[in-house]
Structures are given as structure tokens and as C-alpha cells.
Amino acid sequence: MNPAMYQDKAAEVNIGESSYPIWVGWGITKQIGARIKDLIRPEVTYVVTDQNAQRHARKIQISLERSGITTHIFIMESGEVHKTLDTVHHVYEWLAKRKAERNHLIIAVGGGVVGDLAGFVASTYLRGMPYGQIPTTLLGVMDASIGGKVAVDLPQGKNLVGSFYQPQFVLSDVSFLKTLTDRQLNSGWAEAIKHSLIVDRDLFDEFRTNVDDISSLDPDITTNIIRRSVAIKADIVSRDEKETLGIRILLNYGHTIGHAIEVATGYSDYLHGEAVSVGMMGAAYISHFSGLMTSEEIDLQRNVLESYNLPTHASGLNKLHLFEAMKSDKKTVSGNVTWVLLERIGKAVTKIGISDDTVSEALEMIIKPEVI
């Protein structure tokens, strides 16, 4: 093992007796072949990517093959609408034709859609193959690549078919973010800001005071803020892998309404982070109406989200459609949603039994926003 290659480890996820590293650095992809050969030693790798990330996948293929690892690439169509069992079937056939074996390695190279789908394939093909995550979007870096939640969508809802299956490593090259559009970047910052809102007021204040440096991807400041954010998720996942202890569910702040917005709009009008941003505002209003978050803190949350050009309302959506979509939420038990709310910025809590009237009032606030 070459210690110099591992100085950029931002965190480690520890699940039972197993663990895996999360590497975050600027320009570290060129080392991927040596790292994988050192860590896993696979003879063959299968890179699953999409049209948006294939340029990165080709560079990774070169690094892997220079290290003596035979590498194949599957390029799926881009977008949430392709995170389906139909696409999974195509990847299964591709692996079967190449006679993939259990000791070979699958690598997801792309955003959250690729990471979710490739991880689901890895968890099910041959009853489980090792896999790694190389996210190429900020949303993938912050959220989908960490924690082993792998899944695909059904028409009835997001991520309804899936499992918990941990990767062998996560490698995030922050320089990849320079290829993203402003909208894609902002969508990713929503998840990072969410981490600060649920457990770390100091990190929230960093997002509030360093908007220009973070938005312009200053290498040092951006890498540091990403390391701090992913370390929060790594710690939460390590303490509650399968969301049974009431800890990991806190990561779903904003997601109940956010997922409903995605379903109600056919996954086409809002990027995931944009939907979550609106969902966090809805959750903030529910928090306030439940006697928790103050109106001043709602303003703070709104101002920070808007400073990263994230939406804080979704005018024109049908409230009944949102209610219907929320009934399919994975956190719904016997018709009751487990809501993740904020007691204050930096302190999330869960609540069951929030009345439909309270939720309806909050939805009105994001559909027809009024400052309270």
C-alpha cells in the first residue's frame, strides 16, 4: 500500500466488521487504477456510465488498463427516466455476455442515477458482486454514492425497488465538477446544505458566508466543504446503516415532499436537488407550524438556498397530486409519514402523526409562497 495515495481520505464508513474509504480530492482520478489494484485486485472491471459521464469513464478505463485491469464500459442513456428495471435488464445481459464473475468489479461512473442503478445491479447479479462508486456530479458526491442505498424507480414512485449494498470505495474527484452546468452544481449543493441543516450549524454558516468561493469552485475551499459534508453522511450511515435506529432517516430532510414533487412532475421539471430544496422549505413550514423552527430560521434557510440559485417554491403544482405521491413514500407506515423536521438549524428530529391540515398548510406555502 502506498500511503501517499490515501492522504485525501475524507471519511470511512464502518458497517459491522467491514469498512470502506471515501476519498475526496482535486485531480485524483489518475490514481484510480493503482488504488483499485492495491485495494481490491480485480482481474476485470465493468464500468457502468451514461452519456453525460462517458468522457470521465474513458479516462478511468485508461488508468485501469494501465494497471493491468481489463475494463469494459456500458453506456446507458442519461436521466432519471432511465433508472428502471428495463435498463437493469440490459446491463444484466451485457454482464452475462462478458461472462462476469463474482470476484470481478463493477464501477459506477456518473451521477446519482448511474450510482443507484449500477449498485442495484451489483447487489443482485450473481447474488452480489463487489462495486465502487466514482461520482461525477455534485449530487452524486454528496448523496447517492455514500451509504449503500441502491435502487431503481417504478412509475408509482422513486426508488421503490432496491436494497442496502455497500460499495468497496467511493472516489470523488472534485475537479470533475468543473464540467457541470450551474444548474447541476446548485442541485448538488442542496444535499450538502441539507447535511448542515440537520446536524451542523457551523457548516451551515460556512455555506452562508462563502457563497462566492463555493459557487466558483475554489479548489481548496470547495474540497474542504465537500469533505466536511460527506463526513457527516458517512458518520450517520455508520451508526444506522439500514435506517432502523432513527438516525439515518434524518438524511431524508426535505425528501418526502421533494420526492412527491418529482413523481408529480414525471421526474422532468425539477432536478433532484431542486425538488429537495423546495421540499426542505415545506418541511421547514411544517416544523414551524408544529412549534419547532422559528420564522427567523425559516428565512435563514430560504436565503441560503436562494443564494445558491435553488428554488424555494413550486408554483402551479397540484396539492392533491402531491398528497397522492406522498402515500407511496418509503417512510410511510400504516398511512402515517415519518416526517424529518428541524427543531432548529443544526438539529433535526422525527415526528409521526402530523395532521393533514398542517401538511396542507405547508404545501400551500410552497405552491403559493407567503413569507411568515
Q: Is 149 a catalytic residue?
A: yes
Q: How far apart are CA 12 and CA 157, in angstroms?
A: 31
Segment 312-321 shows an average pLDDT of 91
Per-residue pLDDT at 330: 59
* Residue of 272, 288, 302, 331 marked catalytic: 272
Per-residue pLDDT at 331: 64
Residue 241's Cβ-count burial label (10 Å; 0-12, 13-18, 19+) is buried
Per-residue pLDDT at 3: 57
pLDDT exceeds 80 at position 2: no
CATH for 182-367 is: 1.20.1090.10
CA distances from 282 to 299, 326, 332, 356, 364 (A): 13, 13, 17, 13, 9
* Residue of 248, 288, 302, 331 marked catalytic: 248
Look at strands 131-135 and 105-110 and give their pairing. parallel
* Residue of 35, 194, 195, 259 marked catalytic: 259
Q: Where in the chain is the domain with CATH 1.20.1090.10?
A: 182-367
Lookup: cell for 100: 462476469
Segment 291-317 shows an average pLDDT of 96
258 backbone dihedrals φ, ψ, rounded to 5°: -60, -45
Per-residue pLDDT at 334: 61
Q: Is 66 a catalytic residue?
A: no
Lookup: cell for 221: 475551499
Segment 338-350 shows an average pLDDT of 97
Per-residue pLDDT at 324: 86
* Residue of 255, 288, 330, 331 marked catalytic: 255
Segment 137-143 shows an average pLDDT of 92
Q: Is 313 a catalytic residue?
A: no
pTM confidence score: 0.88
Q: Is the dihedral of CA 221, 227, 228, 229 positive or negative?
A: positive
CA distances from 306 to 262, 274, 281, 332 (A): 20, 11, 11, 30
For the chain, the average pLDDT equals 93
Angle between helices 201-209 and 219-239 in degrees, nearest 10: 160
N- to C-terminal Cα separation, the chain:
57
CB 110 within 8 A of CB 133: no
* Residue of 206, 241, 243, 262 marked catalytic: 243
CB 71 within 8 A of CB 64: yes
Q: Where in the chain is the domain with CATH 3.40.50.1970?
A: 3-179
49 backbone dihedrals φ, ψ, rounded to 5°: -140, -175
CB 131 within 8 A of CB 167: yes
Q: Is 191 a catalytic residue?
A: yes
Q: How far apart are CA 85 and CA 76, in angstroms?
A: 13
Angle between helices 255-264 and 272-289 in degrees, nearest 10: 130
Q: Is 208 a catalytic residue?
A: no
pLDDT band at 102 (very low <50, low <70, confident <90, very high): very high
Q: Is 82 a catalytic residue?
A: no
Q: Is 248 a catalytic residue?
A: yes
User: What does R_g of the chain's alpha carbons equal in angstroms?
Assistant: 20
pLDDT exceeds 70 at position 333: no
Segment 10-15 shows an average pLDDT of 94
* Residue of 2, 99, 127, 296 marked catalytic: 127
* Residue of 35, 52, 191, 228 marked catalytic: 191
Q: Is 104 a catalytic residue?
A: no
- Quick: pLDDT tens for 22-55: 999 999 998 999 999 999 999 999 999 999 999 9
CA 177 from centroid of its chain's CA atoms: 15
* Residue of 241, 252, 330, 331 marked catalytic: 252
Q: Which of 346, 334, 341, 371 is nearest to 358 (CA)?
A: 341
Q: Is 321 a catalytic residue?
A: no
* Residue of 82, 195, 233, 288 marked catalytic: 233
Per-residue pLDDT at 156: 82
CATH for 3-179 is: 3.40.50.1970
CB 186 within 8 A of CB 273: yes
CB 173 within 8 A of CB 109: no
Q: Is 259 a catalytic residue?
A: yes
CB 272 within 8 A of CB 80: yes
